[in-house]
Structure 1
Amino acid sequence: MKYFLNFFLLLSVLSCSQKKQPILGDTDFQRKMNADFKDASKSPLKDKDRKGFTGLDFFKFDSSYVVQASFERTPDEVPFKMKTTTDRMPMYVKYGVATFELEGQEHQLNIYQSMDLMNEEGFEDYLFLPFLDTTNGESTYGGGRYLDCEPPTNGVIEIDFNTAYNPYCAYNEKYSCPIVPRENYLEVKVEAGVKAFQNH
């Protein structure tokens, strides 16, 4: 999983430190996120939040949120500066459009590619899918969530909303996070992936 690379654009070395408590989570994705959030070398949490951290809140895995979307490549798009929560303006390009059905409705989402990550070995094909939905500000983070995608195969791209995660600025305002473009708003509840963070 490469969610942290949207903010650091650096490869992180996985630590093999022993954990005194088992890592919580129903899926590999959930366990991986919880492990990273507990690890002081990777965690976006503030020290005070990490010390009492036992696990993120996730929706239960739901296979209906794993969709096979038809994909249309948009090769002639002009790169643009994506707004973030700070003055940073990273360069992205619209890679293509995914069309799929969810909750009985047809939806479309733009998929983007980071101009910086294109030049990172191993991430030339990394695709970024930020989205908003009607759970934002209620059960999920108000600023929307992100997904990582693999390149399409034969005109189809898999979107697994169970792996939707929050921008790092949902946990700590020191991070600079891409703001989800308004055209990637889904008029539907996406009750999958990571829920809003409740710090105590």
Structure 2
Amino acid sequence: MKQFLFYGLFLFVAVTAQAQHSYKDSLDLFLENYVKDHQVVTGADKQYFRFFPVDETYRVTARFRKEENSPWTAFPTSSGKTKQYRIYGWLEFKLHGSDQKLAVYQSQFLLQQKEYSDYLFLPFKDATNGKDSYQTGRYLDLKTSDIKEGTVVLDFNKAYNPYCAYVSTGYSCPVPPKENHLKIAVNAGEKQFAREH
């Protein structure tokens, strides 16, 4: 009996360790592909990408609440131009024991394109901006199909910089609105690019 219990405990620990290892491996591969396939940063400049260490505590399940009849709003961008977005819904979650809330947006432009019609946009700021991460904020991408039974998995390890973090001109990067300014530090995802532009 003791031998059986010991084996069961060993198997549980081994499976748990493998699951955690697999998560880190999958994120490492995700970040590796992100750098390799980046459309703006090319060649030797890829060496200047920086990321926080992968931390599974920044992968959280959020409750989703749909925003009904949300009007289209002009979003300010880095270039001074505006882009039309509307609040698709709200995400409520706990991060390191603290209650958080973020709006997730839908793009009017992408909604008209069949291949991107399910695309959702989550721009945010946090206490790392201007220090460890890009000063204007970072983004997460979601799809409507990611919403399952009123919940969404948010993985801040996949938070990335807008193109404006690498080049000064040529892009109009949406600026995260006030409702998406987190007071806490999100020490996950992409850091400040290590070369000035």
TM interval, short-chain normalised = 0.7 to 0.9
Query: How many aligned residue pairs are there?
Result: 168
Opposite residue 129 of structure 1, the aligned amino acid is L
Q: 1:52 to 1:153 in 2, by over 3 A?
A: closer
TM-score, with length taken from structure 1: 0.79
What aligned pairs does 1:134-173 form with structure 2 within 5 A after superposition? 134-151=127-144, 152-173=147-168
- Does 2:53 correspond to 1:27? no
Gaps of 5+ in 2: 1-25
Q: Is the 8 A contact 2:27 2:157 kept in 1?
A: no
Gaps of 5+ in 1: 1-24
* Secondary structure of the corresponding residue to residue 30 of structure 2: helix
* Secondary structure of the corresponding residue to residue 31 of structure 2: helix
Following TM superposition, by how much is the alpha carbon of 1:52 offset from its aligned partner in structure 2, in angstroms?
4.2
Report the counterpart of residue 190 of structure 2 in structure 1: 194
Report the counterpart of residue 52 of structure 2 in structure 1: 59
What aligned pairs does 1:1-200 form with structure 2 within 5 A after superposition? 27-37=28-38, 42=39, 44-45=40-41, 50-54=43-47, 56-151=49-144, 152-174=147-169, 175-199=171-195
- CA distance in 2 between counterparts of 1:182 and 1:52 reads 32
* Secondary structure of the corresponding residue to residue 51 of structure 1: helix
Opposite residue 58 of structure 2, the aligned amino acid is Y
Q: Can you list the C-alpha shifts for 1:53-107, whole angstroms capped at 9, x where unaligned?
A: 3251111111111110001000211001100011321111100000000021100
Q: 1:150 to 1:158 in 2, by over 3 A?
A: farther
Opposite residue 168 of structure 2, the aligned amino acid is E
Q: Is the 8 A contact 2:110 2:117 kept in 1?
A: yes
Deviates more, 1:119-128 or 1:159-168: 119-128
Q: Is the 8 A contact 2:48 2:195 kept in 1?
A: no
Following TM superposition, by how much is the alpha carbon of 1:119 offset from its aligned partner in structure 2, in angstroms?
1.5
Q: Which has the higher helix share?
A: 2
TM-score, with length taken from structure 2: 0.80
Q: Can you list the C-alpha shifts for 1:109-161, whole angstroms capped at 9, x where unaligned?
A: 00001011111122111110000100111110110100001321111011110
Report the counterpart of residue 21 of structure 1 in structure 2: none
Opposite residue 157 of structure 1, the aligned amino acid is V
Q: Is the 8 A contact 1:97 1:110 kept in 2?
A: yes
